[in-house]
Amino acid sequence: RKEVEQDPGPFNVPEGATVAFNCTYSNSASQSFFWYRQDCRKEPKLLMSVYSSGNEDGRFTAQLNRASQYISLLIRDSKLSDSATYLCVVLSNSGYALNFGKGTSLLVTP
Question: Which chain residues interact with other proteins by CB under 8 A?
Answer: 32, 34, 41-46, 49, 87, 91-92, 94-103
Contact 103, 89 (CB under 8 A): no
Under the phi-then-psi rule, with left for phi > 0, alpha for psi from -120 to 50, and beta for the rest, what region is 46?
beta
Closer to other proteins by CB, 72 or 92: give it.
92
Closer to other proteins by CB, 16 or 54: give it.
54
Strand partners, 73: 21, 62
Closer to other proteins by CB, 76 or 102: give it.
102
Min dist. Cβ of residue 39 to other proteins (A): 11
37 CB burial (10 A radius; 0-12, 13-18, 19+): buried
